[in-house]
Amino acid sequence: MTRRPRRNHTPAFKAKVALAAIKGEKTLAGLAQIFDVHPNQITAWKAQLLDGAAGVFGSGAPHGAAAPVDLRALHAKIGELALENDFLEGALIKAGMLSAKR
């Protein structure tokens, strides 16, 4: 028996299958046969849809909103890295491994 190549389903297809499973008009086995996917996959997509459904009606902020960034720490890190680069560049020039013309 040969294996089927891996398939990638679009989010629209997954939503369509999950909604059909939620409606409950057909069994998982029937849906699996219609959409040519494994029943366990349908169950997983259905669970994902139900878990993410609350986000549709949630607040206006996106779910993965980034935490505020500490600019002082980032600027300090940039200064530290620039200092290291200058030091290493000078060491390489002295060792003759880097041309001073850069």
Cβ contact 46:18 at 8 Å: yes
Per-residue pLDDT, averaged over 4-14, amounts to 89
- How many Å apart are CA 60 and CA 56, to the nearest integer? 9
- How many Å apart are CA 83 and CA 86, to the nearest integer? 5
* Digit-coded pLDDT (tens) for 39-98: 999 999 999 999 888 887 776 555 556 678 889 999 999 999 999 999 999 999 898 887
For residue 63, the number of C-alpha atoms closer than 13 Å in the C-beta half-sphere is 8
Cβ contact 68:77 at 8 Å: no
- 30: how many CB neighbours lie within 10 A of its CB? 12
* DSSP code, position 60: S
